[in-house]
A and B are shown apart, each in its own frame.
Chain A
Amino acid sequence: QKEVEQDPGPLSVPEGAIVSLNCTYSNSAFQYFMWYRQYSRKGPELLMYTYSSGNKEDGRFTAQVDKSSKYISLFIRDSQPSDSATYLCAMKSGATNKLIFGTGTLLAVQP
């Protein structure tokens, strides 16, 4: 079983919809949680970063971390066709610098 599980999708939504993406994990030592966006044939780009539990909002994006359930989410409000990409969750513990990624969810926002 992988340390980080993420539904690969694909997920297709109409423009303007609220998108919910999520990951589960098994390693309770994870303390840092990130969401990256990856466009086709590009490198991952950091969207959101959260330390420990709680919520963080940045424009149309909201990240949530529930350490008790080992579950993290990314919400995208008023989704746009330009949001169409693969969304990767990533995590790390305090003891190491390496990131552990989920498989990524492919999102398509239809105009």
Chain B
Amino acid sequence: GAGVSQSPRYKVAKRGQDVALRCDPISGHVSLFWYQQALGQGPEFLTYFQNEAQLDKSGLPSDRFFAERPEGSVSTLKIQRTQQEDSAVYLCASSLGERVTQYFGPGTRLLVL
């Protein structure tokens, strides 16, 4: 398929563990976004890349959250020393340049025990 893919789809971590979530955007999409969706809530913005440049990281909740996109395609969201409050669905979206339309992946469901 040509959509946004994310892996793993589900991740269970023990409190204090580090996790890495992967996003493969639609081929050719220069803009990439990460959102966090808590249960029963709408997605909340975490960070935005244009190619390899991280242009906005204002939504990252703490310095335990780190995102990268070193070659301007695949992106990884890393959460260090996970806490129970990090349990959520992490959504990745991509868009073509400055176009408004963002296409979302299926999300990674993270559960921290």
A-B contact count (CB 8 A): 60
The answer on a CB contact under 8 Å between B33 and A103 is no
B residues touching A (Cβ–Cβ < 8 Å)? Answer: 4, 31, 33, 35, 40-45, 48, 55-56, 59, 91, 93, 95, 98, 100-107, 109
CA distance A76 to B95 in the complex (A): 26
The answer on a CB contact under 8 Å between B104 and A43 is yes
The answer on a CB contact under 8 Å between A103 and B42 is yes
A residues touching B (Cβ–Cβ < 8 Å)? Answer: 4, 6, 8, 32, 34, 36, 41-46, 49, 51, 88, 90, 92, 96-104
CB distance from A26 to the nearest CB of B (A): 15
Residues of B within 8 A of A6 (CB): 42
CA distance A51 to B99 in the complex (A): 12
